[in-house]
Amino acid sequence: MTRTSEWTPESVDAALSLVDGPLTVLAALQAVQEQVGHVPDEAIPVIAARCNASRADVYGVLTFYSDLRTSSAAETQVRVCLGEACQSVGARELHQSATRLASPQVDVGHVYCLGNCALGPSAEVDGRVVGRVTPGRLASIVGESAG
Ligand code: FES
């Protein structure tokens, strides 16, 4: 699917028309994010109408899943794992240092398990999972990714 940088009612409709199978609220939100890059507020009533759901239902699903965004994503996405295995080997401190890397070009968030528990602390940079991450190594990876 080709991502557009700006949303229009047509881009929301186009995204929804590409959903395979039943049009659930989650599938609709994922399709719009894939098409537009995020889920704009204006898409909520469109999705609600198409999914025969209330706006509150759509908003509830949108805000429940941390992978769904309501604004444009930064160029580089960083997520530090705060699952228990990673916390036991310093993930809280890693996340703390990672927040200093945040900028308009770099989003820093967290996730609870990347499936890389044996190599914690783990992080994900632009979809690539890395293990045994130190603050310095994370800064270096983010620098390579953003630069
Ligand atoms: S707890 Fe961090 S990867 Fe599983």
Distances (CA, A) of 88 to 78, 94, 99: 20, 12, 19
Q: Please give the residue that has the higher pLDDT: either 2 or 62.
A: 62
Distances (CA, A) of 95 to 9, 61, 88, 105, 140: 37, 26, 13, 17, 15
- Of all residues in the chain, what percent carry a pLDDT higher than 90? 70
Ligand 1 site, residue 119, Cβ cutoff 6 A: no
Q: What dihedral do alpha carbons 82, 24, 127, 103 form, nearest 10°?
A: -70
pTM of the model: 0.70
Distances (CA, A) of 98 to 65, 68, 107, 119, 136: 21, 21, 10, 18, 9
pLDDT of residue 10: 80
- Distance (angstroms) between ligand 1 centre and the Cα of 50 equals 37
- 114 pLDDT more than 90: yes
Arithmetic mean of pLDDT over the chain: 90
Ligand 1 site, residue 35, Cβ cutoff 6 A: no
> If you average pLDDT over residues 109-124, what whole number do you get?
96
Task: Identify which of 116, 133, 138 to mutate to test ligand 1's pocket (most ligand atoms within 8 A of the CB).
Answer: 116
> If you average pLDDT over residues 16-20, what whole number do you get?
89
**Which fold, 76-146?**
Glutaredoxin (3.40.30)
Residue 147 confidence class, pLDDT cut points 50, 70, 90: low
pLDDT tens column, 71-95? 887 889 999 999 999 999 999 999 9
Ligand 1 site, residue 76, Cβ cutoff 6 A: no
Instruction: Name the closest-CA residue to atom 1, ligand 1.
Output: 83
Considering the chain, tell me which residue range(s) the CATH 3.40.30.10 domain(s) occupy: 76-146
Question: Which residues 6+ apart lie within 8 Å of 88 measured at CB?
Answer: 120
